[in-house]
A and B are shown apart, each in its own frame.
Chain A
Amino acid sequence: MHEMGIALEIIKIAVDSIPANLKNPKVERINLKVGKLAAVVPDSLKFCFEVASKDTALEGSLLHIEEIPVTARCINCGNSWTAIKPVFICEKCDSGQVDLLSGRELDIVSIEVEEGA
């Protein structure tokens, strides 16, 4: 529900990351990682991004979202697995002492930018 706020943050970070020496920089693509547990709906984020990036150096750029699966590791026996359902109980030893290894990401990895005409 806060996808617009997230989109604005992404735009700010991306604009700040454009190398200063580029003339008429045009950002073509933004690479984002979004964990499956993150409270963000990718389609809705893309829509907000499209709207909010108008009239910025990011207008028309592609927001590429890599969805990161939820992985967990049992603290008790070391078993690790990819969680398809939100269940954080070890299948091997039934322990609930579980570390989340991934799935909460909401990170900008890189931007792809070219000099304009």
Chain B
Amino acid sequence: MEVKVVKKVLSVNDTMAHQNRKYFSDKKVFVLNMMSSPGSGKTSILEKTVGRLLPEINSAIIVGDICTTNDADRLAKTGVPVIQICTDDFGGDCHLAAHIVGNAASDLDLDGVQLLIVENVGNLVCPAEFDIGEDARVVVLSVTEGEDKPLKYPLMFRVCDAALLNKTDLLPYLDFDREAVINNIRQIHSDMPVFEVSAKTQDGFPAWILWLKKQVEKKVG
């Protein structure tokens, strides 16, 4: 006999994400989920970002990594509270699931924090599928990864609210067609802002910082 089920396979994660979202609202904290393939420069961008948000915005960071605490050590130098999640302890996952982010967030003192940034595990596929209760999502793509990545990973570029095109300082050494990549992003998500930045030189940071501040202010005033 056929038994109707009609259930989302990820419904448990969706429920946990919903709980996180409520918790973050109660705490009046804006949550940003930052995603990219490994090594695009998420940690480098965050190192240069959190200090520039001060004194208006206090941040905290949750960083997911498969194995090391390198990123947390780097980010701790910025002076903001950082919690590292080693997904290896949870089976070497390729993404952060909502309950893991929820647990980490409850270990942070979020009083007085307006912005919680979650650096997801380096991966352009899986994190796009898992809601963690965030308010906005950004994807980082570096210029060494090739112009076609938005077309190869459409879900990621579809679900994100902004894209950062990083390592622009390397453009003179590459045959990278920046117009082609922006065009590819537009095909997937036509009105998504694209910030061309270099975490190394901090070129292009003002527009990105301004966008982020506006997002935070929209939620927490």
Contacts and interface: CB of A to CB of B under 8 A. Distances in A.
B158 A110 contact: no
A109 B154 CA distance: 25
Interface centre among A1, A39, A40 (most CB of B within 10 A): A39
Contact of A113 (B1, B6, B8, B190): B1
Contact count band on A: 35 or more
Contact of A14 (B5, B93, B187, B189): B5
Contacts of A2: 93-95, 126, 129
A37 interface: yes
Nearest to A96: B190
Given A2-B93, A37-B154, A111 B2 contact: yes
Contacts, number: 92
A84 interface: no
B5 A109 contact: yes
A109 B6 contact: yes
Interface string A25-46: 0000000100001111000000
Interface in B80-115: 91, 93-95
Interface string B177-221: 000000000111111000000000000000000000000000000
Nearest to B189: A88
Nearest to A19: B3
14 contacts: A1-B123, A5-B93, A13-B7, A40-B129, A86-B151, A88-B158, A88-B189, A96-B191, A106-B8, A106-B10, A107-B9, A108-B7, A110-B5, A112-B3
